[in-house]
C-alpha cells in the first residue's frame, strides 16, 4: 500500500474519530508527535489555572483553613472515587496517595498478613517493572516468606498450597503485552491465594474490571494515561470484602480512625482510608484531580477501541514503510494480548530514538534495543501514527543495517 494511501486513510480515520476533539484539551501545540504518554501523560491545558488558584487563593489566602474549606483533607478519597470507574471499582475502594512503590509495599505486606501462616511463598511476576520486584523481595524478608519469581505464563503451574500472595503486572512495560487478569486472578483464587495487580500501564488505556474479576488489591500510578503530572500520587484499591482485615504495614495518623485525637495507640479507620499514611501532597493531588476532568463524558471502552485501532494502524504502517528485517515487533498482534503501546526491537535503537525525537516524534528507549511507542487515545491521532512510522522508516533508511557474520 502506498504512502499516500496510508496518509489518506489516516486523515479519514481522524475525521471519523469520536475522541479527536479531546486533543484540544491538552497543551500539545506544534508539530510534535507525542508517543510517550505511557511514561508521562501530556498536560491538560486547564491544569495550570487550577494550580494557580490552589497556590494563590487556597494556600496563599485561606492557608490552614483550606484543609476544611477547600476540601484538602478528603482529597485522597474524593479523587479515588473519580479513578474508581476507570479501573472498574465501585465506590469506597480506592484511595489516592504516596507512590506506586509505597502502595505495592502496603498491598503485598497486607495481603501476606491476611493469608494463613502456612502459606509461606510470595509469587512475583519475573518480567515485572524492577521496583515491584525490589519491593516484593523486601516484603518477603520482612514477613519471613520466600519470594518465587515466575513469568505470567508459568504462574498456573507454580501456584500451590504454599502460595500466599501473587503480585502481577497487567501490562508488560517493555513489550506492551497484556496479561489475562480475569484468568490469572481466578487461578490465584483457585489456589487459595490473594492477587495483587499493578495497573500502571493499563489504567486509563483499557478496561480493567477490578470488581468484576474479583481482584483483591491493586495499585497504579496516575502520571501515565491519567495525565496527572510528573510524580503525581498513586492509588491503592482494597476490595470491600478485605477492608476490615487490611492491616497496613505503614499505619500513619491519616489512616487512624480519629486522626486528631493524637492517641498513642493505633486504631485503623474504616474502609479504604486504611490505605492512607501521612499528610497528602496537596499540590500534586489537586493537579491530578483537575487533570481527571478530561475524562468527563468519555468511556474506557471508547478509549480501548481507539487504542487498538491506533496500534493496529501503526503496525500496518511500519510493515509498509520500514525496510524488511530492520525492526521486530515485540508486541502481540492479538488484541486480547495487547496493551496501548507498541515495542519494536532494533539493534540501532538508541541512535534511532535519539533521531526520532530530534525530528519531532517522541517515544522512548528501553535498553538495549527496544523502541517503545505509547498510544494515548485522548490526544494521539491516526495522522500522528502514520507520521511516526514514516519518520522511523526514513531514519532506518539512512542508518546502515548491521552486518551479519
Q: Which of 279, 283, 244 is closest to 259 using CA atoms?
A: 279
CB within 8 Å of 220: residues ≥ 6 apart: 87, 100, 198, 199, 200, 202, 203, 234, 235
CA distances from 192 to 152, 160, 161, 163, 218 (A): 17, 8, 7, 8, 18
**Is residue 371 within 8 Å of residue 346, measured between CB atoms?**
yes
CB within 8 Å of 283: residues ≥ 6 apart: 51, 54, 55
Q: Confirm whether 306 is a catalytic residue.
A: no
Q: Is the peptide bond before 147 cis (omega within 30 degrees of 0)?
A: no
Task: Determine the 3-state secondary structure of 43 from DSSP.
Answer: coil
Q: Which DSSP category does 401 fall into?
A: P
Number of H helices and E strands in the chain, helices first, is 12, 13
For β-strands 121-125 and 94-96, DSSP reports them as unpaired
**How far apart are alpha carbons 112 and 245 in whole angstroms?**
11
Q: Which of 216, 248, 180, 276 is closest to 89 using CA atoms?
A: 216
Q: Confirm whether 225 is a catalytic residue.
A: no
Active-site residue identified among 129, 225, 235, 314? 129
**How far apart are alpha carbons 73 and 343 in whole angstroms?**
41
- SS3 percent helix, strand, coil of the chain, rounded to 5, is 45, 15, 40
For β-strands 328-329 and 341-345, DSSP reports them as antiparallel
Active-site residue identified among 36, 125, 132, 198? 198
Active-site residue identified among 23, 372, 387, 390? 372
Length of the chain: 405
Q: Confirm whether 129 is a catalytic residue.
A: yes
Active-site residue identified among 224, 274, 276, 387? 224
For the record, the C-alpha cell of 208 comes out as: 480493567
Q: Which DSSP category does 255 fall into?
A: G
Q: Confirm whether 223 is a catalytic residue.
A: yes
**Is residue 239 within 8 Å of residue 215, measured between CB atoms?**
yes
Active-site residue identified among 26, 173, 223, 375? 223
Task: Give the active site residues.
Answer: 129, 198, 223-224, 372
Amino acid at each position: 500500500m502506498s504512502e499516500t494511501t496510508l496518509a489518506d486513510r489516516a486523515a479519514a480515520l481522524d475525521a471519523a474519530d469520536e475522541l479527536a476533539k479531546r486533543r484540544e484539551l491538552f497543551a500539545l501545540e506544534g508539530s510534535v508527535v507525542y508517543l510517550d504518554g505511557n511514561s508521562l501523560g501530556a498536560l491538560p491545558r486547564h491544569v495550570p489555572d487550577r494550580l494557580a488558584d490552589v497556590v494563590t487563593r487556597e494556600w496563599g489566602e485561606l492557608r490552614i483553613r483550606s484543609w476544611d474549606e477547600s476540601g484538602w483533607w478528603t482529597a485522597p478519597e474524593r479523587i479515588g472515587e473519580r479513578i474508581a470507574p476507570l479501573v472498574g471499582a465501585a465506590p469506597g475502594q480506592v484511595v489516592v496517595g504516596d507512590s506506586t512503590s509505597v502502595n505495592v509495599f502496603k498491598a503485598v505486606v497486607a495481603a501476606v498478613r491476611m493469608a494463613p501462616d502456612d502459606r509461606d511463598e510470595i509469587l512475583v511476576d519475573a518480567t515485572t517493572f524492577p521496583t515491584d520486584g525490589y519491593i516484593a523481595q523486601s516484603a518477603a524478608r520482612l514477613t519471613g516468606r520466600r519470594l518465587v519469581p515466575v513469568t505470567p505464563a508459568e504462574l498456573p503451574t507454580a501456584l500451590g498450597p504454599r502460595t500466599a500472595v501473587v503480585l502481577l503486572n497487567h501490562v508488560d512495560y517493555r513489550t506492551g503485552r497484556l496479561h489475562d487478569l480475569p484468568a490469572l486472578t481466578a487461578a490465584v483464587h483457585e489456589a487459595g491465594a490473594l492477587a495483587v495487580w499493578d495497573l500502571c500501564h493499563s489504567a486509563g488505556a483499557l478496561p480493567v474490571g477490578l470488581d468484576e474479576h474479583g481482584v483483591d488489591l491493586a495499585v497504579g500510578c496516575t502520571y501515565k494515561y491519567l495525565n496527572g503530572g510528573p510524580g503525581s500520587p498513586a492509588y491503592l484499591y482494597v476490595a470491600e470484602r478485605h477492608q476490615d482485615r487490611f492491616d497496613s504495614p505503614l499505619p500513619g495518623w491519616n489512616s487512624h480512625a480519629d486522626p486528631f485525637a493524637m492517641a498513642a495507640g493505633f486504631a485503623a479507620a474504616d474502609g479504604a482510608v486504611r490505605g492512607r499514611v501521612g499528610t497528602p501532597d496537596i499540590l500534586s493531588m489537586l493537579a491530578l484531580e483537575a487533570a481527571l476532568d478530561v475524562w468527563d463524558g468519555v468511556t474506557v471502552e471508547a478509549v480501548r477501541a481507539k487504542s487498538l485501532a491506533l496500534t493496529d494502524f501503526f503496525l500496518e504502517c511500519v510493515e509498509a514503510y520500514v525496510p524488511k528485517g530492520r525492526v521486530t515487533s515485540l508486541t502481540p498482534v492479538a488484541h486480547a494480548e495487547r496493551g496501548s503501546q507498541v515495542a519494536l526491537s532494533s539493534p540501532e535503537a538508541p541512535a534511532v530514538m535519539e533521531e526520532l525525537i530530534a525530528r519531532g516524534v517522541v517515544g522512548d528507549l528501553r535498553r538495549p534495543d527496544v523502541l517503545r511507542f505509547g498510544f494515548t487515545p485522548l490526544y494521539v491521532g491516526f495522522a500522528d501514527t502514520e507520521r511516526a512510522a514514516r519518520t522511523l522508516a526514513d531514519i532506518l533508511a539512512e542508518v546502515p543495517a548491521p552486518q551479519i557474520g
